[in-house]
A and B are shown apart, each in its own frame.
Chain A
Amino acid sequence: MRKRYGQIQAVDGLELDVPAGVCFGLLGPNGAGKSTTMRMLTAQALADAGRITVLGYELPRQSKQARMEMGVVPQLDNLDVELTCRQILTVFARLYRVARGDRAAAVERALRLVNLHGRADTIVRDLSGGMRRRLLVARGLIHEPRLVLLDEPTVGLDPQVRQELWSLIDGLRSRGVTLLMSTHYIEEAERLADTVAVMSAGRIIAQGTPADLVRAHAGEQVLEVYGRPDRLAEVSDLALRNGWSSRRSGPAVAIMRAEMLDGQGPEGVRRPANLEDAFVALTGEEIE
């Protein structure tokens, strides 16, 4: 599918097939078109061209039926700050057509799921950032959807809160909920996603399990050479002359596919290749 905003081609020939029951990670730097893609899946943005099917429904024509069965956790906090957790969840239980008799139980269940049952009657304004994000998750799960869209679910959160959310998302996955998660955190994609699609400039440039992506694009091992700036420049030069793929990685130079070096490489620390290496190899961009 394609989507253009004025001069900006946000999504450019994107092809995506997410099977039921997996956690699918859409990994890409800011501006890759992830959020636009997410908005198109709820028909809050309309594609200029292409075909979108969600849960078997044709979008945008049947988007309302699709939204009935899916949950959305947005990147930006759009909670009503003046309402309590319970009030917000009750409103959304209605919006998602949870039957009157089941609403109170659905709210209670959602609050427990995200560990906010002690805060049911707290006004959103008085919640911490992490709690608000958990409430956003609860709101998206109030009707026990089969599919959940998570747009950058942990952006801007501190590491501890991020861990909490990760275990929450992992719990959903293990219960068979289909998840489509966009993220620009490599670790998040690596830990949670069964399949990762690397997105850049509005299209998917590689797709597979994290392990497959690493093997295909970064090899097995990476050699990291630490040292003073002049030493690092020397190593970079050496890599260039020998045709080794390398990149600056923080205070070190990382040489990819170190298993192929046959002892010719400089002194350094060998470590297993990771998704970040693959990502940089694919996009030429460094992200978090």
Chain B
Amino acid sequence: MSVQLAVADSATIRAPARRVHRLEPAALAGVMSRDVVMFGRYWKATTFSSVMQPTIYLLAFGLGLRATVRLPHYVEYVGTGVVATAILFSSAFPGMFNTFVRWQFQRTYDAMLAAPVDTEELITAEVLWISLRAGAYGMAPLLVAIAFGLEPEWGMLLVPFIGVLTGFGFAAFGVLIAAVAKTIDNFNYVTSAVLTPMFLVAGTFFPVHNLPVGVRTVALGNPLYHCVQLVRDCSLGHIGAADLGHTGVLLAFALLMWRLAVWRLGKRLID
């Protein structure tokens, strides 16, 4: 039971094998170069929605609520909170949909895995690309909020990094969901049962400490809550020791989701 392919004399005296490593930068760059080219085709639509969405949130919640409830710093509050929403939406959704479509419908992953790219490199590069994009799109709400009167702060320059870190975790979470979903319709369960509550109970539009104890405890386990806190502290100039804890939670979430995504999807890409 053996298969030997092209191992005649000329092949046995081949040059010494090129060493290959895990997570080769050249492989990651190759996979991401495809994403960059694709992005060149659809950036207008995604950029439009990533600016429109926070604008609408700010108008609806900011102006609408301010009229009924007395909230002096609502633009600050919602403007910074919506950054996390933008990061979540621009990472978890592409993580789920792009992965599923490229893997199952377009078979792009099959094509790339026939090249010298392994599943870990493929998945990592895809997640990394989405997270970089999320880092950039996370800035959109902040710019909109500044237009609505939010004071610029030096700490805001840290927001893209928070976006990349948070986006990495949620993109990997999306990939993990795509790997375990049977059909693309199954994403509806995740969107309505996981992502929607997650983005509402994260201190985006209202403080978590006003919620009942049970919900509050759940909120503290929500990575998006930590993202919101971190963004708010950086943007409003309140950086403190607690932010180390927030960063730690986001880092742990990103690492865990990355390994789970590589493990689950890796198993399904190779039969």
Contact = CB atoms under 8 A, between A and B. Distances in A.
Contacts of A68: 18, 20, 116
Contact of A91 (B6, B27, B37, B269): B37
A16 B4 contact: yes
A147 B116 CA distance: 14
Contact of A90 (B12, B31, B33, B106): B33
Interface string B81-116: 000000000000000000000000011101111111
CB-CB nearest 6 A-B residue pairs: A78-B107, A20-B8, A50-B1, A95-B30, A94-B30, A72-B114
Nearest to A13: B1
What's the interface size class on B, roughly? 35 or more
A151 B11 CA distance: 23
A248 interface: no
B29 A50 contact: no
B6 A78 contact: no
A76 B107 contact: yes
B10 interface: yes
Contact of B6 (A14, A20, A83): A20
A91 B2 CA distance: 34
A50 B111 contact: no
B34 A80 contact: yes
Nearest to A38: B114
Interface string A1-20: 11001000000011111111
Interface of B: 1-12, 14, 17-18, 20, 26-27, 29-31, 33-34, 37-38, 41, 106-108, 110-118, 269-271
Contacts of A76: 107, 110
A67 interface: yes
A91 B114 contact: no
B28 to A, nearest CB: 10
Interface residues of A, number: 57
26 contacts: A21-B6, A41-B3, A44-B270, A45-B270, A46-B271, A49-B1, A52-B4, A54-B5, A54-B6, A55-B5, A55-B6, A67-B114, A78-B108, A79-B111, A80-B34, A82-B38, A83-B34, A83-B41, A91-B30, A91-B33, A91-B34, A91-B37, A95-B30, A96-B115, A178-B5, A180-B5
A65 B18 contact: yes
Contacts of A39: 271
A41 B234 CA distance: 52
A46 B270 contact: yes
A87 B10 CA distance: 34
Contacts of A265: none
A97 B34 contact: no
A64 B21 CA distance: 10
A147 B6 contact: yes
Given A44-B110, A91-B33, A91-B37, A2 B116 contact: no
Contact of B3 (A5, A14, A64, A146): A14
Nearest to A53: B4
A51 B114 CA distance: 19
Interface in A52-69: 52-57, 62, 64-65, 67-68
Nearest to B13: A56
Contact of A78 (B11, B31, B33, B110): B110
B11 A20 contact: yes
A92 to B, nearest CB: 6
Contacts of A42: 113-114
Given A57-B17, A64-B116, A51 B3 contact: yes
A70 to B, nearest CB: 8
Contact of A74 (B1, B20, B114): B114
B11 A1 contact: no
Given A41-B3, A65-B20, A94-B29, A21 B38 contact: no
B110 A74 contact: yes
Contacts of B108: 78, 80
Contacts of A87: 37
Contact of B116 (A5, A50, A97, A146): A97
Contact of A18 (B4, B20, B116): B4
B227 to A, nearest CB: 32
Contacts of B38: 80, 82-83
A96 B4 CA distance: 23
Given A1-B2, A67-B114, A56 B7 contact: yes
Contacts of B115: 67, 72, 92, 95-96
Given A20-B6, A91-B30, A91-B34, A96 B1 contact: no
A56 B17 CA distance: 10
Given A80-B108, A90-B37, A97-B116, 9 more contacts: A15-B3, A16-B4, A44-B114, A56-B12, A65-B116, A72-B115, A94-B30, A97-B30, A180-B5
A74 B33 contact: no
A74 B113 CA distance: 12
Nearest to B117: A95
